[in-house]
Amino acid sequence: KTSLPIWGSTMEYSHTREQWTPVISAFQGTEAATDSFKLKLFDNLAMYSDKQLSEIEFARARQELNKLKQDVTLEVKEQCFGYQKALIQLDTASNKVRYQENDFEFMKMKRGMDEIPDSSIIESMIKLTQERFAYVQALADCHTSIAGINKAIGIEDYFKDE
């Protein structure tokens, strides 16, 4: 028996030969040969439909990969922007803290000469504390941005947080 696929159809050929032993009254046994040929139209389309399905799945996987690349690229860009923003805020907060420290020292000297009331010194201390808090927030944003970049690229502690 042989089978030959032809596009979406199948062609089969079968040859059978049988021999029987002689019976008591006969000198020779009997023989029979059978040949059959079958043409099955469109019975083997699964191979082509499976190929089409695999091509569709491959295209879908490629599309998902491209979308994932775009998402990761966007996330990395956003995290880098956040890091740059945090660095600017950190620099600004550092300058403001220095200014408020100098202002506080200046107010203490003026108070020592009895030129300003105690409330001005307290107000200067409050401003200094607020600027120090803003500095701590900017520093926290900086650390958060570094952690976000590490997460976005998928490598833990790639950029060291010091």
Q: What is the CATH number of the domain that holds 115?
A: 1.20.1270.60
Question: Is residue 74 domain-shared with residue 134, that is, in the same domain?
Answer: yes
Question: Is residue 143 domain-shared with residue 85, that is, in the same domain?
Answer: yes
Query: Residue 26: pLDDT above 90?
Result: no
Cα first-last separation, the chain: 76
Tokens encoding 159: 């950029």
Report if residue 54 sits inside a domain.
no
Report if residue 45 sits inside a domain.
no
User: How many alpha carbons lie under 13 Å from residue 68 in its C-beta half-sphere?
Assistant: 8
Question: Is residue 31 domain-shared with residue 111, that is, in the same domain?
Answer: no
d(CA 47, CA 114): 98
pTM greater than the 0.85 cutoff:
no
Question: Is residue 68 domain-shared with residue 135, that is, in the same domain?
Answer: yes
d(CA 24, CA 135): 115
Task: DSSP letter for 28, please.
Answer: S
Question: Is residue 98 domain-shared with residue 20, that is, in the same domain?
Answer: no
- Boundaries of domain holding 140: 64-153
Question: Is residue 68 domain-shared with residue 136, that is, in the same domain?
Answer: yes
Question: Is residue 34 domain-shared with residue 101, that is, in the same domain?
Answer: no
Mean pLDDT of 39-58: 83
Report if residue 19 sits inside a domain.
yes
Question: Is residue 68 domain-shared with residue 126, that is, in the same domain?
Answer: yes
Report if residue 50 sits inside a domain.
no
Question: Is residue 95 domain-shared with residue 136, that is, in the same domain?
Answer: yes
Question: Is residue 20 domain-shared with residue 78, that is, in the same domain?
Answer: no
Query: Residue 91: pLDDT above 70?
Result: yes
Which residues touch 13 (CB under 8 Å, ≥6 apart)? 1, 2, 4, 35, 36, 37, 38
Question: Is residue 118 domain-shared with residue 74, that is, in the same domain?
Answer: yes
pLDDT at res. 102: 95
Q: Beta 9-19 vs 31-40: how paired, if at all?
A: antiparallel
Please write the tens of the pLDDT for every residue from 58-83: 999 999 999 999 999 999 999 999 99
Total domain count, the chain = 2
